Amino acid sequence: MEGKTETACFAIADISGYTGYLAGVELDHAQDIIADLIDTVVRALRPPFRLAKLEGDAAFVYAIAGKIDGSLLQDTIEATYFAFRRRLRNIRQSSICECNACRQMPRLDLKFVVHHGEVAKQRMAGHDELVGRDVILVHRLLKNAVDETLGGHAYALYSDACLRAMDIDPAVQGLREHHEAIDIIGNVRCWVRDLHEAWEKENERQRLEIPAAEAAAVYNFDIAAPRPVVWEHMTAPGHRPKWQGSDYVIEKHVKGRRGVGTQNHCMHGKDAIVEDILDWRPFDYITFNALMPIPGAPKVLFSYVFEDRLGGGTHVSVRVGKVRPKDRKYLEGQLAGFADYINGAMTNLRLLVEGQAGTPAVVEEPELLPTPERFLTEPVLGRG
């Protein structure tokens, strides 16, 4: 029996090149590698997504949502692709096995199809299955002609319904228009992001993170929530007043998307703390300059660094950058106030995201494929 209908964002992460890769390679090593990569992809996608099911070389995920934060969704998709590429590189570098499966790993890539629509859950063989027209549509969109446009590059294909839910201008954000003709459903308007191009830009962009050893001050916190959840609450303007103490946050985008070049005005009554984002690496760290509403105050550099904590949760390191000699007296006079403010704000954040302000629901999800983790530490000889 079908349950109630809900509105959701769906995504399918599909390992491309899989069929050709399996032809003529050692199956045991190939299975190890695919399981490892699927594990990497699913862990990077959740949250905000939940795993609906594994589909061979693909993962089908969803998030119940009427409206979508367009910046957060695109950051999640791209951060997942970057994690996939890094993992593929690390597997190859950490194994000295020369079997075909290991040598031909670079043939593998990743593509995404993302859609927004209605869904119901149906209990089948003891498990909840997502059903509905939009579930069919997102799967049908996997068979598309995007490769002909991009020349085989990795990509994210967003349906027009998804773009409307994100409330973004695709032209401003550099997305390419694309159309697919689906039997019975008809013409489906879509928008494409070249993920290979995004990966190259990510690697070329200069990194700006304050090292803890070189900071004027460091404040450390542990929060029992996943990194993407902590990141979202610390960066999204709709969440920040809930824990930060500001009345509201005005966000000025570059090309309609949160990231490098974004300017935030954190309003405290008539006063505003002005932040200019200088580096943006979801969900690893953010670096920005902050200008306090004090006459003659210099800009102060901050980095928020997010790391997975052993046993689960997130370690947050708030780092204050050193200033020029002429501004040291100002900074020294502000550090005590910074400490009080940051400690109080992070206490509020911890209460918010750890569920103490509301118990989070327990969600049933399929188990991930078991992996031998044979590539995680030091080089090993393959079995083949």
Cα–Cα distance between 92 and 374 in angstroms, integer?
A: 11
Looking at the structure, do residues 185 and 255 belong to the same domain, yes or no?
no
Cα–Cα distance between 102 and 32 in angstroms, integer?
A: 10
Provide the CATH number for the domain around residue 159: 3.30.70.1230
Q: Note whether residue 125 is domain-resident.
A: yes
Looking at the structure, do residues 68 and 170 belong to the same domain, yes or no?
yes
Examine the fold and report which residue of 182, 203, 224 is the final residue of a domain before the chain moves on: 203
pLDDT score at 139: 94
Q: Note whether residue 95 is domain-resident.
A: yes
The per-residue pLDDT of the chain, averaged, comes to: 86
Looking at the structure, do residues 251 and 277 belong to the same domain, yes or no?
yes
Cα–Cα distance between 55 and 67 in angstroms, integer?
A: 27
pLDDT score at 121: 82
Instruction: Work out the angle between the directed axes of helices 70-94 and 195-204 (0-180°, nearest 10).
Output: 80
Q: Note whether residue 195 is domain-resident.
A: yes
pLDDT digits (tens, 9 = 90+) for 326-363: 999 999 999 998 999 999 999 999 999 987 443 333 34
Examine the fold and report which residue of 203, 224, 258 is the final residue of a domain before the chain moves on: 203
Looking at the structure, do residues 221 and 349 belong to the same domain, yes or no?
yes
pLDDT score at 41: 95
pLDDT score at 364: 54
pLDDT digits (tens, 9 = 90+) for 269-295: 999 999 999 999 999 999 999 999 998
Examine the fold and report which residue of 203, 234, 250 is the final residue of a domain before the chain moves on: 203
- Two structure tokens written together for 93: 């570098």
pLDDT score at 284: 96
| Parts of the chain with a pLDDT under 50 | 1, 356-363, 374-384
Looking at the structure, do residues 290 and 344 belong to the same domain, yes or no?
yes
Looking at the structure, do residues 331 and 224 belong to the same domain, yes or no?
yes
Q: Note whether residue 56 is domain-resident.
A: yes
pLDDT score at 376: 41
pLDDT score at 379: 40
Beta-bridge partner residues of 7: 118
Q: Of the candidates 135, 150, 220, which has an alpha carbon nearest to the alpha carbon of residue 192?
A: 150
**CB contact at 8 A, 120 and 131:** yes
Looking at the structure, do residues 131 and 215 belong to the same domain, yes or no?
no
Provide the CATH number for the domain around residue 241: 3.30.530.20
Q: Note whether residue 123 is domain-resident.
A: yes
Looking at the structure, do residues 157 and 260 belong to the same domain, yes or no?
no
Looking at the structure, do residues 130 and 190 belong to the same domain, yes or no?
yes
Looking at the structure, do residues 348 and 214 belong to the same domain, yes or no?
yes
Q: Note whether residue 109 is domain-resident.
A: yes
Looking at the structure, do residues 102 and 216 belong to the same domain, yes or no?
no
| Ramachandran category for residue 94: left, alpha or beta (phi over 0 → left; psi -120 to 50 → alpha) | alpha
Q: Note whether residue 57 is domain-resident.
A: yes
Structurally, the chain folds into a number of domains equal to: 2
Q: Note whether residue 165 is domain-resident.
A: yes
pLDDT score at 375: 47
Looking at the structure, do residues 147 and 252 belong to the same domain, yes or no?
no
- pTM value is 0.87
Range of the domain at 41: 6-203
